[in-house]
Chain A
Amino acid sequence: MRDVAVISFSQAPSVRRESDLNEVEMIVPVVTEAVERSGIDRKDIGFTVSGSCDYLAGQPFAFVMGLDAIGAWPPIRESHVEMDGAWALYEAWVRLQHGDVDSALVYCFGKSSLGELRDVLSLQLDPYYLAPLWPDSVSLAALQARSLLDGSDHTELDMAEVAARSRRDARDNPNAQVTGDTDPNDLLNEPYIADPLRKHDCAPISDGAAAIVLAAGDLAREKCERPAWIKAIDHRIDAHSLGARDLKKAPSARIAAEAVGAVKDGFDVAEIHAPFTHQELILRDEFGLSDKTRINPSGGALAANPMMVAGLTRIGEAATRVMDSSADRALAHATSGPCLQQNLVCVLEGN
C-alpha cells in the first residue's frame, strides 16, 4: 500500500445550536483552514470527498450546497458518502492508492439541532419491523447498557468515571461543548433519563463541521514536519437487527481492530467514538486497550458529538497528537448506526 498521512486538521467549535450559520457557512472556515494548514493550493488537491446526512438538514442533496462552499471550479474529482466523515476519509485513502493524485480533502458537517435527533435517528431503523415502534436512539443505547451491566463486571460507577474523565479532559479542548470537574460518585446521584443511562452517560446534541487533508508519500513529507501516517485502516458492519446481536459486544469493532493489527499492540493515545459511556467500556474491551493508553484526551464524543463529524474528529484529534509529537502511535475509531453497529479503526504513527 502507498504511504498516506493526515497532514492537517480543522474543526468548528461544537455547539448545542448553531443558529447564526447555515451548513455552508460552517464548512467554509474549516475547509479553508485545513487547506491553508496543509500548504497545498486548493486547486492542486487531487480528490475531494465529504460525509453528511440529508435527514439532519431536512432536505435532499444537503451535500450539494457543501460543494458550492469549497470552490469546485474548475470541476473537481469529488465524491460523497451518506456516512460519518471517517468513512469519507476511508474513500479518500483508497483513492490515493491509485497513484495518479497525491492529496485529498475530506470534510463533513452536521447540524443535529435542526430536528429532534432522537426521532430522526429512529428513522435509521428497519422500516418495516422496528422504525414503526419509534424506539429512539437513547432508549436503544439504554438497552445495550443494561445488557452490559447485567452481563459483565462493569458498573454504573465505571460509566460515571468515563463521563467525569471526558469532561475533565475536555477543559483543555476549546472546541468542546461539555466540560467540567465532577466527582463520579456525585454523578450517580443524578436521575436516570433512560435506565440505566443518566444525562452524563449520553453525548450532547451538537452542531459542527471538520476537515482533514491527506497527502501521499513525498508530498506529505514536504508539506508536514511530522505527518500522521495511516499505518492501517479498516471498517466493518454488524447485523442491524438488535435481536440478532449480543449488545454487550461490538464484533465488527473487534474484527476491524484485528485487521489493522491494533489488538496486540500498545498505543500512546486512543480517540474512541463512543456517544455513550458504556460504549467506551465495550470498545476498550474489544480493542484490548491497556492502562498505558490515554483514552480520549480531547474529551471524546461525550464532550462534543456533531453527527457525521464526531468520527472524523477522532481521527483528526489522534493525528494532531502524532503531528505535535505528543504521541508516536495512536488509535482512532468511528462508529455509526444504533448500538455500535458499524465501526472504523485507524492506526496513526509518526514514523
Chain B
Amino acid sequence: MAERCAVLGIGQTKHDSERDDVSIAGLVREAALRALEDAGLEWADIDAVVIGKAPDMFEGVVMPELYLADALGAVGKPMLRVHTAGSVGGSTAVVASHLVQAGVHQRVLTVAFEKQSESDVMWALAPKIPFSMPIVAGAGGYFAPHIREYIRRSSAPDTTGINVAVKDRVNALKNPYAHLQMEDISFEQVADSPMLWDPIRYLETCPSSDGACAMVLGSESAAGSVKNPAWVLGTAVRSEPIGMAGRDEVDPRAGRDCAAEVYKQAGVTNPHRDIDVAEIYVPFSWYEPMWLENLGFAEQNTGWKLVDDGTTALDGDLPINPSGGVLSTNPIGASGMLRFAEAALQVRGEAGEHQVDGAKVALGHAYGGGSQFFAMWIVSDEKP
C-alpha cells in the first residue's frame, strides 16, 4: 500500500426510529457536516465522495446517490455508491480508504445511511422470487436456525444472549447518539420479552433506525492538520456464496479469512491481547459470542464465556460495542460504518462517556447477506 490513510473527522446523526424532521438529504448532510467540522475542513477540501447503503428498497429510491450529489457537495467531483448488503457501511469505508491509499485522492468523504422509516424493511426483504425460498420472516427468521446451531455446538447456557442484550443497552445509555435509551433495562425485562424467532427474543434484536454516519479519510499529509487522527493499520473484505452446500453459516470461513488478513496487515498476532476494544456487527444478541470465535478472540465454542464473565463489558478486559452496538442503533446501511467510526473514536480518545480507558488499537467489523460478506478495519492512535 503506497500511502498511509487516517481518519480525520467523524460525524453521526442522532439515530431514532423516525427522523421525520429531515429528508434523506438532510439526514446524510447532518452526518457529513459533523465529520467536516470535526476534521476542520470545508466542502471544497473534499476530493471525492463514497456513499453506501443497503438495498434501495429500504427507502424506495433507486440509486439515491444521484439525488444526494447536491446535498453532499459532490457536484463536479467523483462519487461512488457501494452496496454489499449489511456489511456495506464497512465496505464503503474500505473503498474510501483505498482511494487514499492508492494515492488517487488526498481527502475523501465517506457516508453511509439508512432511513428505514421511509419504507418497510420487512416488505423489502420479502419479495416472492420464482424458484427461490422466500425470507418472509425477515432477517431474524433467517438467522435464528444458525443461532440454535451455535447453542447446540457450544452448549452455551440460554442466558448468554440476554446478557449481551442488557450489556449493549446499558452501554447505549452512555452514547447520546444511540437510538435506544432504555434506562430501566434489566435481565428480567429482556427474558420476559416476547419470543420472536426462537431463540431470539424481542429485546435480543436490533431496532429499526433512521441514521447516518460520515467520516473524512485522508492521506498522511492531509492528516497533518488534525491533532489526533486515527491511523488505518489494515483493511480487508471477504465474500462467500450464500447457496454453497457445506459452508458453515455459524462460523463462516469468509469471516475467518477476512480477520486473518486484517490482523496480518496490522501486525496483530493475538487478537485478544493486541486489540483493546472492538465494535462488531451484532444485530441479534447471540452474534456477539459467535463473532468472538469467528474473529479469533475466543476458542471455538467458548465465546459465550467471555460474555458471561464480563470480559466484553465496558469495564472488562475486552470491551465489545461500548457504543451500544447494532442492538441499540440500526440504520442498516450505516450500521457497519458506525462500527468502523466508533473504533476510530476510541483510539482518538473521543468516545465520551463510553470511552475505553487507554484504547490504542481497535477493530471495526461488519457482516452482511447470509453471513457471507465481511468487512473489517483496524485503527490505531499511532502512525504505522
* A-B complex is real: yes
A36 within 8 A of B: no
Determine whether the beta carbon of A64 is less than 8 Å from that of B56.
Answer: no
Q: Give the contacts of A65-104 with B (CB-CB under 8 A).
A: 67-68, 71-83, 87, 90-91, 94-95, 97-100
Stretch at the interface among B83-91, B199-207, B222-230, B287-295: B83-91
Determine whether the beta carbon of B1 is less than 8 Å from that of A98.
Answer: yes
Determine whether the beta carbon of A97 is less than 8 Å from that of B104.
Answer: yes
Determine whether the beta carbon of A252 is less than 8 Å from that of B243.
Answer: no
Q: Give the contacts of A125-156 with B (CB-CB under 8 A).
A: 125-128, 131
Determine whether the beta carbon of B239 is less than 8 Å from that of A67.
Answer: yes
Determine whether the beta carbon of A75 is less than 8 Å from that of B254.
Answer: yes
Determine whether the beta carbon of B76 is less than 8 Å from that of A252.
Answer: yes
Of B55, B83, B236, most buried by chain A (CB within 10 Å of CB) is B83
Determine whether the beta carbon of B63 is less than 8 Å from that of A124.
Answer: yes
Q: Give the contacts of B192-214 with A (CB-CB under 8 A).
A: none
Stretch at the interface among A188-196, A312-320, A334-342: A334-342
Partner of A91, one of B24, B60, B77, B80: B80
Determine whether the beta carbon of A236 is less than 8 Å from that of B62.
Answer: no
Partner of B74, one of A55, A58, A237: A237
Residues of A contacting B68 in the complex (Cβ-Cβ under 8 angstroms): 240
Assess A90 versus B66: contact at CB under 8 Å? Given A72-B240, A74-B253, A99-B2.
no
Determine whether the beta carbon of A53 is less than 8 Å from that of B62.
Answer: yes
A18 within 8 A of B: no
B252 CB to closest chain A CB (Å) equals 8
Map CB proximity to B onto A234-278 as digits: 1 under 8 Å, 0 otherwise.
Answer: 111111110010000001100100000000000000000000000
Residues of B contacting A90 in the complex (Cβ-Cβ under 8 angstroms): 80
A223–B111 CA distance with the chains assembled, in angstroms:
38
Residues of A contacting B236 in the complex (Cβ-Cβ under 8 angstroms): 77
Determine whether the beta carbon of A81 is less than 8 Å from that of B82.
Answer: yes
A337–B69 CA distance with the chains assembled, in angstroms:
11
A115 CB to closest chain B CB (Å) equals 11
A310–B357 CA distance with the chains assembled, in angstroms:
53
Q: Give the contacts of A42-70 with B (CB-CB under 8 A).
A: 48, 53-55, 58-61, 63-64, 67-68
The count of residues in chain A whose C-beta lies closer than 8 Å to any C-beta of chain B is 61
B151 within 8 A of A: no
Of A71, A82, A252, most buried by chain B (CB within 10 Å of CB) is A82
Partner of B81, one of A72, A81, A238: A81
A121 within 8 A of B: yes
Residues of A contacting B75 in the complex (Cβ-Cβ under 8 angstroms): 237-239
A123 within 8 A of B: yes
A219 within 8 A of B: no
Stretch at the interface among B94-102, B165-173, B267-275: B94-102
Residues of A contacting B124 in the complex (Cβ-Cβ under 8 angstroms): 60
B221 CB to closest chain A CB (Å) equals 18
B156 within 8 A of A: no
A192–B244 CA distance with the chains assembled, in angstroms:
51
Partner of B2, one of A80, A98, A244: A98
Map CB proximity to A onto B47-67 as digits: 1 under 8 Å, 0 otherwise.
Answer: 000000011111111111111
Assess A73 versus B241: contact at CB under 8 Å? Given A61-B85, A80-B84, A244-B70.
yes
Interface residues of B (CB under 8 A from A): 1-2, 23-24, 54-70, 74-85, 91, 94-95, 98-99, 101-104, 118, 124-125, 127, 129, 236-244, 247, 252-254, 257-258, 369-370, 372-373
> Could you list 29 examples of A-B contacts with CB < 8 Å?
A1-B103, A53-B63, A54-B57, A55-B62, A58-B127, A61-B55, A64-B369, A67-B372, A68-B242, A68-B243, A72-B241, A73-B241, A75-B238, A75-B253, A78-B237, A82-B65, A82-B82, A82-B83, A91-B95, A94-B98, A97-B102, A123-B62, A124-B61, A124-B67, A125-B67, A236-B76, A237-B69, A239-B75, A341-B69
7 extra interchain contacts, Cβ-Cβ under 8 A, other than A82-B65, A234-B78, A237-B77?
A55-B56, A72-B239, A80-B83, A94-B99, A124-B62, A124-B66, A131-B61
- Kindly list the 7 A-B residue pairs having the minimum CB-CB distance in the complex, ordered from nearest: A60-B55, A97-B102, A75-B254, A78-B239, A75-B240, A82-B83, A124-B62
